[in-house]
Amino acid sequence: MHLTFGQRLLLGLYSLVLHLAFPVTLYHLIWRGMRQREYLQRWPERYAWLDGKLDLHDTLWVHAVSVGEVLAARPLVDALLAAHPGRPVLVTTITPTGSERVRALWGDRVQHVYLPYDLRSMVRRFLDRARPAIAVIVETEIWLNLYVECGRRGIPLVMVNARLSERSLRGYLPVQAMARLAMKAVTQVAAQSNADAARLARIGADPARIVVTGNLKYDLTLPDGVGAQAERWREAWGRTRPVWIAASTHPPEEDAVLEIHARLLDRHPDALLLWAPRHPERFAPVAESAAALGMRTATRRADTLPGPGTQVFVIDTLGELLRFFAAADVAFVGGSLCEVGGHNVLEPAALGVPSVVGPRTFNFAEVTRRLRDADALRQAPDAAAVGDAVLALLDDEATRARMGEAGRRQVSELSGALGRTLALIDGLLEDRRA
């Protein structure tokens, strides 16, 4: 990868700023560790001190920053393990929750460490130990030193399931020169949609290297027996009681969830809320908030499953959301009543569960639009309207069934991204061997 004098100067300025800000990384780890103890562990990995951790060769490296990206990468990693049984597969993350998902999904079948900070010396130490044959970046995670160093070493770098919202695009535009330099090192971009492809081109991706492959999350593998398990759970909880799930919620939405459930309990005292906050540090606070309002509250860790009298059940574990989606009548998918921009609406759709979302879904704009247009999802302008939609659907079994079937059809029709992405990766590996 050849850099002009101006590009080398820009890279040097970027690295200088990171070195000056380096002490902040220690503060950041301690601060996050006060909220989530796992951030106080495995610090050497974050600084690329990997003795005894990695000594690989010809590695298939997949980077998935956190839980959402790990779940999106799941079918791809499974396919890589099956197609390349003799090669090491390395999956890196940045967050402890992402790390926990990697271990839960693949255990010792993959190598796993945290991706180090984007300082040149650390990036080089990491690549010296990982020795990737290809770098696969899930969605849109751009690190200038990492990308440039992959380019210098001739490591094919492909962004898969790549997406860029209008909001994220605005964030990149002030540092567009750096983004363009990073994107110069990208061998191929596999974008989720035409709109994502256009926005990625605006921050510097070569249009000739962009291909629209679709969303890997449409190629969803449902857990074996998930439907039968949901039926057994519903029988134990009370088959006819209304059950809704509030999934991936954030603090600004928690009061709305409680208000909606209070309205539902006034109409149906036996109603059950399954509640899965997005971040683990919110598990205990939401359980405490529900109990403080007099709602009979249980949790996955303490009580395993709801009882017939449980009114709020907090799912304070990771990796089980699909199973609880399957056991719900209606899903509210969070991040959509606040500026987060929404979360994955495909999972309930794949299970035939109608969803309700708020107005802010820019992270999943196209998917939300397609499900809404197919009448598999209801989008509401505010929290009160979300509550109205949830309550109306819980009282209308025929509409729920129709919407659920429409959701399944959409997921089935839009699948195929996995095959297209695998073909792209295999082509790059063949080109490297040639």
- Residues acting as catalytic residues: 69
- Contacts of residues 206-215 at CB distance under 8 Å and 24 or more positions apart, as own/partner, are 211/420, 211/424, 213/160, 213/161, 213/417, 213/420, 213/421, 213/424, 214/414, 214/415, 214/416, 214/417, 214/420, 215/161, 215/346, 215/367, 215/414, 215/417
Residue type, 109: R
In 3-state terms the chain splits into helix, strand, coil percentages (rounded to 5) of 55, 15, 30
Burial 78-117 (b: 16+ CB within 10 A, else e): ebbeeebeeebbbbbbbbbbbbbbbeebbeeebbbbbbbb
Find, among 175, 316, 304, the residue nearest to 249 by Cα. 316
- Angle between helix 176-184 and 5-20 (nearest 10): 110
Cα–Cα distance, 219 to 225 (Å, whole number): 18
Phi-psi region of 190 (alpha: psi -120 to 50; beta: other; left: phi over 0): beta
Cα–Cα distance, 417 to 213 (Å, whole number): 5
Burial of 118: CB neighbours in 10 Å, binned 0-12, 13-18, 19+: middle
Tokens linked to 312: 């709020």
What are the Cα distances from residue 9, in Å, to 3, 13, 181, 185?
Answer: 10, 6, 11, 17
| Cα angle 425, 136, 114; round to 5 | 150
